[in-house]
Structure 1
Amino acid sequence: MVKVRTVLGDLAAGELGVTDSHDHLFFRSALLPGQELDDAEAALQEAKDFVAAGGRTIVQWTPYGLGRGAEWLPKIAAAAGVHVVAATGFHRAEHYPAEVLEATRPKLAEVFVRELTEGIGDTGVKAGMIKVAGGFHVLDQHARHTLSAAAEAHHATGAPIGIHHELGSGADAVLALLVDERGVPPTSVILGHLNRFPDHELHLELAARGAFLAFDGPSRGNNATDPHLFECLAALVDGGYAGQLLLGGDTTTARARAATGEGPGMPYLLTGLRPRLIRRFGQEVVDRLFVENPASAFAAPWGGTVRS
């Protein structure tokens, strides 16, 4: 039976409820100085506000080495009454000091598998997904290496793989490597940030491959997110792909938090976007985006898969 691996244990996929499919309670990168998400109290308040708005599950895509706050995630999940899915994985090279890249690159697949099956560090908190990054339109050597490690870890565990696409580009190259070269089932791949590259024809081609498509980031004012979101979703819903769409907030800076910053933060998905989505697409479609699709996208057999 497939299950979703949360920081408090494995759940039947049907128990997830309303899900923020891509967000961050904790995140720290040298690329965002002074904007670290490293305040446990602020993270707890953000989670509580998400729950108060009707949310039930938060999927945190923060990967290895970027301040995941693994020791805090179970406490926040319990205190806020929310399911939290943590991630293993590796981001773009620019996010890491040279010494971390040198020490970690040779053993990425091993790290991913260990964090998925045994736990992150000595916390005992198991990751429930793999988050890696593509490149800008094409895959550089670092991206190819991390994606290949993600594929190896997927085949060992069955874990879903979520992809950061730089400015939303390069998703076709990612599918070519993961699915065509490495044999990962497309239904185990979540293509992130596609709202940042609002090419409807490309989105339809990607959906036809069978992957999940994530539109995440209303908290990011410097990207084409909300202005293009509805037209992107409409093209895919009209094309018959409503069952492959996911929504997330992708709150990556302290400034973007609702509880302690300028917002809109995690609750905005439900307080701001969801009512508009219901008016445009109807309750049934919106339930698929927030409830049914995440239950499928983040579920795994947790015993590995057979390469096709």
Structure 2
Amino acid sequence: MDTLQYKSDKKSNLPAVALGTEIKVFAPATVANVVCGFDVLGFAVNAPGDEVVMRLVEEPGVRLLKITGDDGKLPLNSDKNTVSASVKHYLAHIGREDVGVEIELHKKMPIGSGLGSSSASTVAGLYAINQLMGNLLTAKELVPFAMKGEEIACGYGHADNVAPAIMGGFVLVRSYEPLDVISLPVPQGMYAAIVYPEVDVPTKDARQMIRAKVQLKDAVTQWGNVAGLVSGLFLNDLDLVGRSMKDVLVEPTRSILIPDFEVLRKLAMENGAVGFGISGSGPSVFALTKDEESAKLITKAQQMHLHQINIQSQAYVSEVNTEGPKTL
């Protein structure tokens, strides 16, 4: 049996790290916005997600050695990749830039799907380094470091993907300055039916389509729906959740980018959805249901329609993931 080498931190009272220690972590995809909660609501799902393998080594610095499943789209440069850049911020924060870290990123979900691809990668990396360093920060304390990854990915450090990916379940971002994230209850029996039409809708482009100014009457409608959705979660009232899943600010514009969006909505509602909308910036769409059977019927009907109009798609049926990232 090999003997592990240890590297102590002479600058602080932090514990020594065991060189050669390796960890493999899965982090989940997420549905951001949840229709009416632009940039403030999100929830995690069990599948898909991303995996990160991380090990501690002698040579200081953070190095991204390998990326699989990305078709060469993601940078290996440690300052430009969301995973390694976030890990660097974490190590700087805890005063352990002397630590050597090697990372492998294995993409197990589609990039640009509206399911928090960059978020899942970043969260897997942060969870891994936090575990290797002795769990120095709580899940909630990791959120600002994950937001740095989102800033690299799409130019804006929002938390509606990364917070649920790290904390699990439904999350409300009550405030960004200062950051205040709140875990919300998950109604019993809730399932998500997700379909990803394989068309290109870059997050940056989708954000640029959003109106800078809104009418007061539309804002009032949106506030009521956000409050209704949150109330429905607390009351375990899926019908109230469904009635509240209406967006008068963002969806009318973004839905233009999604093929046959209104047809997909109709198919969802006809097959038992309590509510339907765009996941993140799209093109993925999602429906919430009261049971797994309805979720499967929805994804089957939507995929069949997309196939008829010559669009390939991927589908996922999942309960809300209340665990967040996990060690494999």
Larger helix percent:
1
Larger strand percent:
2
TM-score normalized with structure 2 length: 0.26
TM-score normalized with structure 1 length: 0.27
